Amino acid sequence: MATHLVQKSGQSTWYVRMAVPADVRKAFDGKAKLIKTTGTSNKAEAMDKRLPILAQWKADIRAAREQGMEAREQWRANLAKASLEIDSQIDDRLLEAVKSQPKGKVKAPEETPEETAVRLEQFERDRAEIIRDAQSLEDAGAEGLVERLSTLLSQKPLTLLDEVQATAEITRDVMSQVTKRLFSLTPTEAIEATEIMYTPTSYKPVSPITAPRLKAFRSYRVKSEVADKTIDQQESKLKKLSDYLRDQGSPLTRATVAAWLDTMSLSSKTKAQYLLAGSTFWKWAIKHDSHWRSDYSEKDSPFTGQELPKVRAKDKAESARKAFTAEEIESLYAAAKLSGNGTLCDLIMLGSYTGCRIEEIAQLRKDSIVTVEGIRTFKITDSKTVAGIREIPIHPSLAEVVDRLIDKSTDGFLLPSSSGNKYGIRSDPHSKAFSRLKTAQGFGSRHVFHSVRAMVITLLLRAGVPGPTVANIVGHETGLVTFDVYDEGASPKQKQDAINLLSYSFQ
């Protein structure tokens, strides 16, 4: 295994050296290798110091490759833009030619011999400069350019119209040839390049939210330890926007984003999530993608300032989730027991005596049962929020259930789960089973498992438990610095006394 460590002749200091792959050397000023001192002659120490250097170089090489892929995807857009600019220049030159035509039979003033000599000398200098520039372009891939220009410049004086058309013809040919060489276009792509140069309107703009950019965005967020589910959900939304821009042939602007949102029959809340995905991507691209920064740094994010329909208070109230009552959760437990679904019965009891979220319950393990200040407790070590990491005393009515689940556990978890969820979410089958149960019992979309949590909070508050203590139990912030920052929270005994106020008839 290569250590990438070398010593220069006559020196004891160790250097880190790594070859630069040929495909990215241009991004490293043409260097074939990178070398940097470790600042030490101790090889063991140098072995450690080389690691961050190599890591940075490898990251730079990956970035150069990603930027190269991104640049390659832009060749069509760049050619179309260049062709349109050539068309504009031709129009300007032709307009200039028309305006400069002499009126009537006005005779052009004759040159003196001295003026003629000066003009011819300037022409030769211009000709030599043009040929030099042509040679550099020919070296870049514009085959036969020097010969064509030399022939053009050696001909008898052309009309301005002929000159403009000939120059445009050569320019278009040069652009397509250089593009072919620079991006190693396939024969089919080379034909497409020529078509775009001569007919720029044949090019249909593609979305700037390209596959390489999304790949780089994903890589960055994985390194930032963003949840896989969040990454996948936002990437899916960005792909939908990208497809829309591609199909419409539209640029990424505030107007096109608004038009895209209008095509979706979604709630304002869901559309806001789409805008959040776009804003997150925009901020990343402006900071980490040089091509994006070049194109959009002077523009405002099209994802901000979008107006979404406001939900009326009445509609919001009518669609809000409702808490179960104690009687309703008891009836659901009875129905689950009647159907023979013991796991669902255990889930309902655990939720009703803790107020835990369904995934928090699904993640409970045998080692989640701890004793704190003499009180047997559930220890929640992972949650949606910091406040969600907490300890909940085990209600006396749960003691037997917990002992049974510990004894029967085969994988360390209290509740068995058949979930194959790629995000490690174990509650999917439990959530679906509860949804089928509550629907069969006549409950609609406003009642979900989270309604059990709402029920616990409501029952505790109505029993006179102080709000901060309830928040400690269910894992909520109070919104007050006094309780959220400085207060250590309710004691295990205080929380136990509160939990013991919950009472149900689960039969």
Q: Which two tokens stand for residue 236?
A: 């899916």
pLDDT by residue (tens digit) across 38-90? 999 998 898 888 888 888 888 888 777 666 555 555 777 777 777 777 777 76
Q: Which of 109-113, 185-189, 401-405 is predicted most confidently? A: 401-405
**Owner of token pair 């090489």:** 61
Least confident interval from 9-13, 129-133, 346-350 = 129-133
Q: Please give the model's pTM, rounded to 2 decimal places.
A: 0.56
Confidence of residue 32 (pLDDT cuts 50, 70, 90): confident
Residue 97 predicted with pLDDT over 60:
no
Residue 92 predicted with pLDDT over 90:
no
The residue that leads in pLDDT, 123 or 352, is: 352
pLDDT by residue (tens digit) across 240-267? 999 999 888 788 999 999 999 999 988 8
- Answer yes or no: are the C-beta atoms of 210 and 216 closer than 8 Å: no
Confidence of residue 106 (pLDDT cuts 50, 70, 90): very low
Calculate mean pLDDT across residues 394-423.
Answer: 90
Least confident interval from 20-34, 100-114, 302-316 = 100-114
Q: What Å distances lie between residue 176 and 171, 183, 280, 291, 355, CA to CA?
A: 9, 11, 36, 21, 67
Confidence of residue 423 (pLDDT cuts 50, 70, 90): confident
Q: What is the 3-state secondary structure (H, E, C) of 330-395?
A: HHHHHHHHHCCCHHHHHHHHHHHHHCCCHHHHHCCEHHHEEEECCEEEEEECCCCCCCCCEEEECC
For the chain, give the number of residues.
Answer: 507
Least confident interval from 96-100, 345-349, 368-372 = 96-100
Q: Which of 107-111, 164-168, 208-212, 475-479 is predicted most confidently? A: 208-212
Residue 372 predicted with pLDDT over 70:
yes
Residue 386 predicted with pLDDT over 80:
no
Q: What is the pLDDT of residue 458?
A: 95
**Owner of token pair 């980490």:** 288
Q: What is the pLDDT of residue 105?
A: 47
Residue 111 predicted with pLDDT over 70:
no
Task: List, in order, residues 6 or more apart from 85 with CB less than 8 Å away.
Answer: none
Q: What is the pLDDT of residue 113?
A: 77
Q: What is the pLDDT of residue 169?
A: 75
Q: For the chain, what is the mean pLDDT?
A: 83
Q: What is the pLDDT of residue 153?
A: 63
**pLDDT > 90 fraction of the chain, expressed in percent and rounded:** 43
**pLDDT > 70 fraction of the chain, expressed in percent and rounded:** 80
Q: Which two tokens stand for residue 191?
A: 């034909």
Calculate mean pLDDT across residues 92-112.
Answer: 58
Calculate mean pLDDT across residues 192-198.
Answer: 81
What DSSP assignment string belongs to 3-62? Answer: --EEE-TT---EEEEEEPPGGGGGGGTT-SEEEEE-S-S-HHHHHHHHHHHHHHHHHHHH
